[in-house]
Structure formats: structure tokens, C-alpha cells
């Protein structure tokens, strides 16, 4: 196997930025012209994050092949500019699920099924799959979720311990991310939590090769030496991951530390310089905006930015594309009624209604959209946001007063958004993952689907092409029974599926910029390639601001 594996574990506490660190290392190796893939192993028992509450777990990131994955995969795609799949994320739940299915099938021939070797073998298979095939990458970075010491994480750690003996020393590298707090009162950095964390790792047989220390500022040299000595790593194998102003600065900061250089030497990777100019330029543009706009995000999960991670990033990318800073104003949709809309949305240059599930806050979203339409403020609706835009248009422009989505009102005579069961029966490529709760029935449309773009529309202007592929995660669809009625009143269908059966993008003609899409464009936006819809939405906001 030509692929070499880098394992990234975390200690002391969670939220140290392990995902960003792994993604940043990946970006640096890629900039050295080394092919890289990256995988996340999540210790929780859920089979995938698809059913998890975004409040608790953050956004569910959807891949082209329709896997519902951890939000770290979003960082990986953005930093590495690659497209990942179901092969890049698994959980304890999924691993156990596979093992139990095999046991039921009799694959283990009556043997006793145990954590070691059966669970660990299943984990190793999942990891090693990245190295299979002709286009296997030079390096696979494997991030183990959670913190060393967690009960759930043990089988994963045991698996990577074994992989090192299976694959040989030169082919594996262990990087451990810890926290080195700075105690202001004592005026000192503290290394003890790092020592304890490494001790914990050692007790399960893993000796880290590199220690990456999350710290508020760069640590002095003698402290690095101390950590190296106590944790038994090379003196030049202790690096700082300092707090950066913009997350895209992290690869540059790692580069300054010589982190990728050390990794390349230890793994005997070809000695090349990282070509970081394009990345530097992007970071420079982030740091030097020529203006700013304010975008209102009208949603339910306004308290938790993690729930809208990719969206947040895509808006920032759209800002960079226009050389402006994007200020976000999270507005709780439950508070927006017809009267408060003007106050709550006063002064914003654009209004965005993101995806979501459930009725709570929907009427507020409809009110916000009405405000955007009537006051000619740039509007971008994503998934549920697009569905709400159709509801708003049907109610207030086409006069279908009780227009609604089947998700929220099963008895409405005007279900402009509905469950398109016949379509799912024939076409869907995903088997139902949520049957348990299902009066919702049918399936979710997940992953990338093609979309034809109609000429002379905002969508065509943005994409500059007549066919795109965008990622979906929803159950309900635009109801074609209302296609003509709404078109007569001015709703434009600027994106539809190649067979015309599904409306994917709607927009308004005589409005500065009003567009709703059934898919989630934010999943495909990258800092080096801002998504065209976000780019144009922000451009419209810039123009709006100039008018005020
Ligand atoms: N709840 C809507 C649906 O299932 C929208 C989903 C979403 O915004 N991702 O169709």
C-alpha cells in the first residue's frame, strides 16, 4: 500500500480545533504537491449524525454521494478543495452495526464476537479502504473524534495502535493535540495537562510522534523542550497551534512553525516546498476588505453558530469574492411578525433564510421574506428558505391565503410544497434512513443532483453554465400543480431537474436579487472558490448598501 497514514488524536478537552488542525495540515501537504485524503472517526453511538440535533452536534454536512456526516468534513473539503464521500466518516454506531450484521449473517462462523479483534478489525478495514484503488492518495489523515480517555474512543485508539505495527513505522505518524494553558496570575504556560494526556495515550500503547499544543500565544523554546522531554518526542516535534484571527490563517501559521516540514521528514515524504501563494492571497483578501455589508440570517438555531457552519463560511467566501467583510446578524425567526420585521431587519443589506426542519419559526421566516420582497432587499433562500419563499409568494402575490408546505399543514388546499411520493418511489437513490419517525414517510433526497439552469436568469448569470450539480438534504418538494399559477404572477423557475420534474431554483424578475434554491449551495463553497450564488448574493448586498 503506497498510502501513509497520519493519526490525529486530541487530549485534555474538546473544542481545541482538532478538525481545523487536521484540515490545515492536509492543506499544507497538498500545497507540497502530495495527494491527501482525510477521514473522521467519531466515537459516538449514533450510526451517523443525520438524526442528531444541530443544537447539540452542529451542522450535518452532506457529501456528493449523500452521506450525512460530521461538520469537520466541511472543513476538510474547504481546506483541501476536494470532494469527500461516505468513506470519509464513520462512527462507533456504524462500526458496531456492521459487525452485528455480519454476526447475524454467520460470517464469524460461531466465534465469540469481541471488541478486539472484531470491532478493531472493522475500524481498520474502514481506515485502510482509503489506501485502496489506483487513485489512492499519498497520505491519509485520520482524525479521531473525542478526547483521549473517553470510554467510547478506546476501540479507535486500539485500532490505530495496531495499524502502526501492521503498516510499519515509516508509514504511520501519531499527532496529539493538547492544550497548554497560560495562567495569567502565575504568568506561566502550564504543561501538566499535556503530560497527563500523553501519559493516558501511552497507557494504551500509543507514543505520539508530534505534539501540537493549542496555546493563546507562541510558547517559548524552553517550554517546548520541556514538553519534548516529558512526553518523549523529538525536541523539534512540539508545535504551537495559536489562536488565529481568521481560521484560514491556520495553515500559514503551521507553515511558519515548520509543522508540515517535520511531518514530511518523519514520514519520508518527498522534500518539496509548499506552494502557498494562492492561499496567502486569499487570507490577505480576507484581512483587507474594502467595505462591509450586513446580512440577516433568519433562522431557528440562531444561538448556535455551529448549526450553520458551512453557511457561515460560504457567506464569508462570498464576501472575499467581493472584497467586503460580511457581518452576520442572527435574527430569531420566532420573533418576526408583520410589525416587528421592519425593526428587526432594519439596516440589513441582505436577508438569508437557511434550511431547517419543523414548523417552529416558519411564519417568522415568511414575514421576513415578505419584507425582503416588498422592500426590494436582496434575498437568498436555501432549502426551507426557498420553500418559505414559495409559500410567501403564493400567499401574498398569488392570493392563495392558506398556501403552505405539507410538512406544516396537511389540510391546506394549497400545498405548494409537498411530499412528492411518486418521484421518490422511482428515483431516489437513498433508502429511508428515518423510517422510525415516519409519518414523514418516504425518504430524504440526499446528495448531489443535476440541475438545468434557464438562460437569462440570476442563476444563469451566477453560474455561467447550463448544468450544475448541487447537494440536497430535504424531504419536501415544490408542487408542480402550482407551477403555472405562480409563474403567471411572476415566479421564475430558473433551475429544474433535467427531466423537468423538480423545481430546484426559483427567483423574481423585477427585484434586485431574490433567489431561492432547493439545494444547499453552502456545502460546495470553498475559500479559494466561493460559490457563485453566495458571490452574487453578496454583490447584490453591496449594491443595496450603495443605494442606502
Ligand atoms: N424541512 C424541509 C424538507 O424536508 C426543508 C429541509 C431543509 O431545509 N434542509 O423538505
Q: What is the mean pLDDT of the chain?
A: 92
Q: How far apart, in Å, are the Cα atoms of 23 and each of 31, 78, 142, 263? A: 12, 8, 10, 14
Percent of the chain with pLDDT over 90: 82
Above 80 in pLDDT, residue 443?
Answer: no
215 is annotated as an active-site residue: no
What pLDDT, in 10s, does the model give residues 175-217?
999 999 999 888 899 999 999 999 999 999 999 999 999 998 8
What is the band of 427 on the pLDDT scale with cuts at 50, 70, 90? low
Place of cell 427585484: 511
Ligand 1 atom 8: the closest Cα is on which residue?
355
461 is annotated as an active-site residue: no
What pLDDT, in 10s, does the model give residues 485-539?
999 999 999 999 999 999 999 999 999 999 999 999 999 999 999 999 999 999 9
For residue 117, whether the previous peptide bond is cis, meaning omega lies within 30 degrees of 0, is: yes
Above 80 in pLDDT, residue 431?
Answer: no
State the distance from the centre of ligand 1 to the C-alpha of 407, rounded, in angstroms: 9
In the set 312, 511, 520, 531, the catalytic residue is 520
Give the pLDDT score at 54.
72
Predicted TM-score of the model (pTM): 0.93
Place of cell 503551521: 254
Cβ neighbours of 153 (radius 10 Å): 22
For residues 313-319, give the mean pLDDT: 97
Enumerate residues 6+ apart whose C-beta is below 8 A from 381: 352, 353, 369, 387, 388, 389, 515, 516, 517
Task: Return the ligand 1 atom nearest residue 383 CA.
Answer: 8
Above 50 in pLDDT, residue 460?
Answer: yes
Give the pLDDT score at 420.
81
Ligand 1 atom 1: the closest Cα is on which residue?
357
Phi, psi of 145 (to 5 degrees): -70, 165
For residues 312-337, give the mean pLDDT: 95
What pLDDT, in 10s, does the model give residues 112-154?
999 999 999 999 999 999 999 999 999 999 999 999 989 999 9
In the set 77, 406, 504, 522, the catalytic residue is 522
User: Residues with beta carbon inside 6 Å of ligand 1?
Assistant: 355-357, 383-384, 387, 407, 473-476
Above 80 in pLDDT, residue 302?
Answer: no
Above 80 in pLDDT, residue 429?
Answer: no
Phi, psi of 204 (to 5 degrees): -105, 15
Amino acid at each position: 500500500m503506497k498510502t501513509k497514514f497520519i493519526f490525529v488524536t486530541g487530549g485534555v478537552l474538546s473544542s481545541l480545533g482538532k478538525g481545523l488542525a487536521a484540515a490545515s495540515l492536509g492543506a499544507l501537504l497538498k500545497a507540497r504537491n502530495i495527494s491527501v485524503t482525510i477521514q473522521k472517526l467519531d466515537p459516538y453511538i449514533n450510526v451517523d449524525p443525520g438524526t442528531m440535533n444541530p443544537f447539540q452536534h452542529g451542522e450535518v454536512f452532506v457529501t456528493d454521494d449523500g452521506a450525512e456526516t460530521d461538520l469537520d468534513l466541511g472543513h476538510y473539503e474547504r481546506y483541501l478543495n476536494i470532494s469527500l464521500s461516505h468513506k470519509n466518516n464513520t462512527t462507533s454506531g456504524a462500526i458496531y452495526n456492521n459487525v452485528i450484521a455480519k454476526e447475524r449473517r454467520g460470517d464469524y462462523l460461531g466465534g465469540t464476537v469481541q471488541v478486539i479483534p472484531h470491532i478493531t478489525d472493522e475500524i481498520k478495514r474502514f481506515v485502510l479502504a482509503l489506501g485502496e484503488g489506483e487513485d489512492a492518495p499519498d497520505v491519509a489523515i485520520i482524525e479521531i473524534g473525542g478526547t483521549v480517555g473517553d470510554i467510547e474512543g478506546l476501540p479507535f485508539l486500539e485500532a490505530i495502535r495496531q495499524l502502526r505495527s501492521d503498516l510499519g513505522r515509516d508509514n504511520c505518524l501519531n499527532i496529539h493535540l493538547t492544550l497548554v494553558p497560560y495562567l495569567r496570575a502565575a504568568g506561566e504556560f502550564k504543561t501538566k495537562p499535556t503530560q497527563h494526556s500523553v501519559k493516558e495515550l501511552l497507557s494504551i500503547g500509543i507514543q505520539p510522534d508530534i505534539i501540537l499544543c493549542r496555546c493563546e500565544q507562541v510558547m517559548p523554546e524552553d517550554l517546548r523542550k520541556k514538553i519534548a522531554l516529558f512526553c518523549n518526542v523529538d525536541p523539534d516535534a512540539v508545535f504551537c497551534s495559536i489562536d488565529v484571527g481568521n481560521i484560514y490563517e491556520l495553515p500559514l501559521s503551521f507553515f511558519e512553525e515548520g509543522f508540515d516540514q517535520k511531518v514530511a521528514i518523519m514520514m519520508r515524504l518527498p522534500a518539496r516546498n509548499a506552494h502557498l501563494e494562492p492561499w496567502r492571497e486569499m487570507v490577505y483578501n480576507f484581512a483587507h476588505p474594502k467595505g462591509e455589508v450586513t446580512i440577516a440570517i433568519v433562522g431557528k438555531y440562531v444561538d448556535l453558530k455551529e448549526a450553520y457552519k458551512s453557511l457561515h463560511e460560504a457567506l464569508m467566501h462570498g464576501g472575499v469574492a467581493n472584497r467586503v467583510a460580511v457581518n452576520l446578524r442572527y435574527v430569531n425567526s420566532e420573533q418576526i411578525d408583520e410589525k416587528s420585521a421592519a425593526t428587526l431587519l432594519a439596516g440589513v443589506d441582505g436577508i438569508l433564510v437557511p434550511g431547517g426542519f419543523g414548523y417552529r419559526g416558519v411564519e417568522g421566516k415568511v414575514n421576513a421574506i415578505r419584507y425582503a420582497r416588498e422592500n426590494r432587499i436582496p434575498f437568498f433562500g436555501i432549502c426551507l428558505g426557498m420553500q418559505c419563499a414559495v409559500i410567501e409568494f403564493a400567499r401574498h402575490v398569488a392570493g392563495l391565503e392558506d398556501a403552505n408546505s405539507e410538512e406544516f399543514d396537511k389540510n391546506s388546499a394549497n400545498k405548494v410544497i409537498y411530499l412528492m411520493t411518486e418521484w421518490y418511489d422511482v428515483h431516489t437513490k437513498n433508502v429511508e434512513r428515518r423510517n422510525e419517525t415516519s409519518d414523514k414517510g418516504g425518504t430524504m433526497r440526499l446528495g448531489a443532483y443535476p440541475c438545468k439552469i434557464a438562460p437569462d436568469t440570476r442563476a444563469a448569470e451566477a453560474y455561467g453554465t447550463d448544468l450544475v450539480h448541487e447537494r440536497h438534504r430535504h424531504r419536501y418538494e415544490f408542487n408542480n400543480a402550482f407551477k403555472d399559477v405562480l409563474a403567471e404572477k411572476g415566479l421564475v423557475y430558473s433551475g429544474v431537474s433535467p427531466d423537468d420534474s423538480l423545481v430546484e431554483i426559483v427567483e423574481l424578475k423585477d427585484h434586485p436579487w431574490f433567489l431561492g434554491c432547493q439545494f444547499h449551495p453552502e456545502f460546495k463553497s470553498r475559500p479559494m472558490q466561493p460559490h457563485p450564488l453566495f458571490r452574487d448574493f453578496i454583490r447584490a448586498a453591496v449594491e443595496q448598501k450603495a443605494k442606502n
